[in-house]
């Protein structure tokens, strides 16, 4: 059971049987379910899942329906990580006592939005990683509290217009920089942290399989383009994700044992950040004369981050 | 269960996805699963759609891009072949059409009311690439 599922190409992958069901209430074109599908299909192991409160939880468990074909639990906003850590600890204890009815080794995966992970559930995640549970935590990072109407979270990037940081005559919207969650989790001593995107499915599957098969707490930050709050056409979800990864706004990389950084995707043609910003309604105001200087700042920030990642990859520290 | 009023809900509820025993869901295809009434697979979001995707298998190369990027598990693929769209669960987002690489596209969006045979008969011809 516990051997890694072999996925050579997309045709082979398409023979997987989905364990996440349709008729959930996520928006048309939502990247959350693309990510969840890719993660659940990446393995044939039994799964025990949990979700924090957020779009994913609210839309997939609307009484009297559930969209999950695996054991799934929701408790609160902050504790998808501790709920799954508790289940993992119980499984370990029962196994040690020989009280498991079936000898199966499930994988433990917690899902949370960026609000539940970067802000509200941060302390809980930190605790789980410090205790070293054998689990994987997945952030569906859509850079905003999309479920409650688009309030800013600590993942919201500079210049984005959110309902609690609206852009207007005196403000260009969100003023704080995005929290570097990956470095924080790597600093916990996690054996594997990675940033992935749904449009690079092969990359995603590789990261997920590696994360599931390493013992210890692993962390996946998945970029999730939000058609409602980023304000673009539902059909463009994959195109926007492509722009995000190719403009290096979301560089894809992994950090092993908190030290070895590997860049897992290098775009052949790097797209200017301006194109990524122009495609979304939340950055519309940046193209007014008043705020145009911010686009240049964006590009500089992305460039210096890319430079930093490359140098860190070389230095192996 | 479905007819309970709002004040009759259980406070902590457990829903079963399947009726009866299941051994290995990860390798059981959807048609072989014993879905229960509380699985959202038995529900439908077809009324969300304004436009529907129509699949023309003459041009399909079975690349499965539509399968991987469909957010609603609505592209049905069996034995590495794309066989159709699940119209109960498709919300009409149009991602499958955007990612379709063939020329002309083998999936196109049409108004919900349009007849499938008519649009298939009038499928667009191959477009020349701009040089």
CB contact under 8 A, A21 and B40: yes
Best to test chain B binding among A12, A28, A83 (most B CBs inside 10 Å): A28
pLDDT higher than 60, residue A26: yes
Q: What is the mean pLDDT of residues B62-72?
A: 94
Quick check: is A182 in a domain? yes
Domain count, chain A: 1
For residue A103, the model assigns a pLDDT of: 82
pLDDT higher than 80, residue B10: no
pLDDT in tens, A54-105: 999 999 998 889 999 999 999 999 999 999 999 999 999 999 999 998 888 8
For residue A219, the model assigns a pLDDT of: 97
DSSP per-residue letters across chain A:
--SPPP--SHHHHTTPPPSB-S---PPTT-HHHHHHHHHHHT--S-EEEEE-TTHHHHHH--TT-B-BSSEEEE--SS-HHHHHHHHHHHHHHHHHHT--SS----EEEEEEEHIIIIIITHHHHHHHHHHT-S-EEEEEE-SSBGGGT-B--TTPPTT--BTTB-BSSS-BS--SPPP-HHHHHHHTT-SEEEEE-TTSHHHHHHHHHHHHHSSS-EEEEEE---TTTTT--GGGHHHHHHHHHHTTSS--EEEETTTEEEE----SSPPPHHHHHHT-GGGGGGGSGGGTHHHHHHHHHHHHHHHHHHHHHHHT-
Quick check: is A4 in a domain? no
Assign B97 a pLDDT band (cuts: 50, 70, 90). very high
Q: Is the ipTM of this complex over 0.95?
A: no
The domain that holds A112 is classified in CATH as: 3.40.50.970
pLDDT higher than 80, residue B1: no
Is A31 an 8 Å CB contact of chain B? yes
**Closest residue to A66, CB basis, from B29, B39, B97:** B39
Quick check: is A135 in a domain? yes
Quick check: is A248 in a domain? yes
Range of the domain at A145: 10-315
**Closest CA–CA distance from residue B128 to any residue of chain A (Å):** 22
**Closest residue to A44, CB basis, from B1, B26, B45:** B26
Q: Chain A, 64-103: which have a CB under 8 Å from a chain B CB?
A: 64-70
Is A21 an 8 Å CB contact of chain B? yes
Assign B46 a pLDDT band (cuts: 50, 70, 90). very high
- Closest-CA residue of chain B to A32: B71
pLDDT in tens, A237-275: 999 999 999 999 999 999 999 999 999 999 999 999 999
For residue B130, the model assigns a pLDDT of: 66
Quick check: is A1 in a domain? no
Pairs across A and B, CB distance < 8 A: 148
Chain B residues within 8 A of A19 when measuring between CB atoms? 25-26
In chain B, where the domains are located? 1-43, 45-122
What's the CATH architecture for B45-122? 2-Layer Sandwich (3.30)
Q: Chain A, 204-223: which have a CB under 8 Å from a chain B CB?
A: none
pLDDT higher than 80, residue A158: yes
**Closest residue to B95, CB basis, from A13, A62, A237:** A237
For residue A9, the model assigns a pLDDT of: 92
pLDDT in tens, A212-247: 999 999 999 999 999 999 999 999 999 999 999 999
Percentage of residues in chain A having pLDDT higher than 70: 99
pLDDT higher than 50, residue A1: no
Which range is least confidently modeled, A35-39, A191-195, B1-5?
B1-5
For residue A64, the model assigns a pLDDT of: 83
């Amino acid at each position: 059971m516990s051997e890694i599922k072999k996925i050579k190409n997309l045709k082979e992958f398409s023979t997987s049987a989905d364990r996440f069901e349709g008729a959930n209430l996520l928006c048309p074109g939502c990247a959350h379910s693309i990510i969840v599908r890719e993660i659940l299909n990446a393995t044939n192991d039994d799964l025990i899942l949990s979700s924090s409160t957020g779009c994913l939880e609210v839309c997939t468990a609307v009484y009297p329906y559930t969209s999950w074909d695996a054991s799934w639990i929701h408790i609160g906003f902050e504790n998808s990580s501790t709920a799954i850590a508790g289940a993992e600890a119980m499984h370990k204890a029962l196994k040690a006592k020989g009280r498991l009815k079936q000898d199966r080794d499930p994988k433990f995966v917690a899902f949370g939005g960026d609000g539940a992970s970067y802000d509200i559930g941060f302390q809980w995640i930190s605790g789980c990683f410090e205790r070293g549970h054998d689990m994987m935590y997945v952030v569906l990072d859509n850079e905003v509290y999309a479920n409650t109407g688009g309030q800013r979270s600590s993942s919201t990037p500079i210049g984005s217009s959110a309902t609690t940081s609206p852009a207007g005559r005196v403000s260009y919207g969100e003023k704080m920089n995005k929290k570097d969650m990956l470095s924080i989790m790597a600093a916990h001593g996690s054996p594997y942290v990675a940033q992935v995107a749904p449009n690079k499915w092969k990359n995603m599957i590789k990261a997920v399989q590696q994360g599931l098969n390493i013992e210890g707490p692993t962390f996946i930050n998945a970029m999730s383009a939000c058609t409602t709050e980023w304000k673009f056409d539902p059909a463009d979800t994959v195109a926007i994700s492509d722009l995000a990864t190719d403009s290096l706004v979301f560089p894809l990389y992994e950090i092993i044992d908190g030290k070895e950084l590997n860049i897992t995707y290098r775009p052949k043609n790097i797209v200017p950040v301006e194109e990524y910003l122009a495609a979304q309604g939340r950055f519309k105001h940046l193209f007014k004369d008043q705020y145009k200087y911010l686009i240049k700042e964006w590009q500089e920030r992305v460039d210096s981050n890319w430079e930093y990642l490359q140098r860190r990859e070389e230095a192996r520290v | 269960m479905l007819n309970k009023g709002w004040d009759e809900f259980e406070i902590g509820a457990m829903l079963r996805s399947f009726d009866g025993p299941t051994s290995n869901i990860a390798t059981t295809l959807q048609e072989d699963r014993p879905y229960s009434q509380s699985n959202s697979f038995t529900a439908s979001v077809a009324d969300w759609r304004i436009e529907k995707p129509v699949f023309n298998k003459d041009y399909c190369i079975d690349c499965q891009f539509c399968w991987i990027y469909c957010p609603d598990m609505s592209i049905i693929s069996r034995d590495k072949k794309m066989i159709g769209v699940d119209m109960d669960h498709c919300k009409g987002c149009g991602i499958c059409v955007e990612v379709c690489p063939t020329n002309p596209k083998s999936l196109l969006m049409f108004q919900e009311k349009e007849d499938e045979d008519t649009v298939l008969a009038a499928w667009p011809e191959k477009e020349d690439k701009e040089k």
